[in-house]
Structure 1
Amino acid sequence: MSSLRFVVMGALFSVLALVGTANAATQHQIDKMTLRSAHRAEPMSATELRKIYSGRSWIWKDGAGYFSRHHSRFAAWSHSHGQRSYAKGTWYAADRGRLCMSAIWYSKKSAAPNVSCFLHRKRAGIIYQKRASGGKWYVFRHNPTKHDDEILKLRLGDYVHKHLPG
Structure 2
Amino acid sequence: MREWNSEAGRAVARLRAAALAVVAAVAVAGPVAAATASVVEGEPPAGSAVMSAAELYALYQDKSWQWQSGAGRMDSTDRRFTAWVDGEKGKSWAEGRWLVTDGGRMCIKADWHSGQEVFPARTCFVHRIDGGTIYQKKEPDGQWYVFRHAQIRDDDEANKLVSADLVSGRLDEWMPARLKARPAVKQQAKK
Q: What TM-score range do you get, normalising by the shorter chain?
A: 0.7 to 0.9
Structure holding more strand per residue: 1
2:135 and 2:45 map into 1 onto residues whose CA distance is 6
1:106 counterpart residue number? 113
1:51 and 2:58 equivalent?
A: yes
2:86 counterpart residue number? 79
Please tell me the residue identity of whatever aligns with 1:77.
W
1:65 and 2:72 equivalent?
A: yes
2:144 counterpart residue number? 137
Note the residue ranges of structure 2 that are not aligned, 5 or more in a row: 1-35, 176-191
Give 3-state SS (helix, strand or coil) of 1:158's partner. Answer: coil
2:132 counterpart residue number? 125
2:100 counterpart residue number? 93
CA deviation map 1:102-121 (0-9, x unaligned): 00000014101000000000
Give 3-state SS (helix, strand or coil) of 1:122's partner. Answer: strand
1:98 and 1:81 map into 2 onto residues whose CA distance is 30
Give 3-state SS (helix, strand or coil) of 2:143's partner. Answer: coil
1:38 and 1:66 map into 2 onto residues whose CA distance is 30
2:165 and 2:99 map into 1 onto residues whose CA distance is 17
Give me the TM-score of the superposition, normalised by structure 1.
0.77
1:96 and 1:38 map into 2 onto residues whose CA distance is 17
Q: % of aligned pairs identical?
A: 38
CA deviation map 1:42-92 (0-9, x unaligned): 110000000000000000001000000101000000012141000000000
Give me the TM-score of the superposition, normalised by structure 2.
0.68
Please tell me the residue identity of whatever aligns with 2:105.
R
Please tell me the residue identity of whatever aligns with 1:157.
A
How many matched pairs?
136
Note the residue ranges of structure 1 that are not aligned, 5 or more in a row: 1-26
Give the number of the structure whose alpha-carbon radius of gyration is greater: 1
Give 3-state SS (helix, strand or coil) of 1:47's partner. Answer: helix
CA deviation map 1:4-48 (0-9, x unaligned): xxxxxxxxxxxxxxxxxxxxxxx9xx642xx34345411100000
1:19 counterpart residue number? none
1:38/1:128 contact within 8 Å kept: no
Mapping of residues 27-46 of structure 1, within 5 Å = 31-32=40-41, 35-46=42-53
CA RMSD, aligned part only? 1.5
1:38/1:122 contact within 8 Å kept: no
Runs of at least 4 residues off by over 4 Å: none
2:146/2:156 contact within 8 Å kept: yes
1:38/1:121 contact within 8 Å kept: no
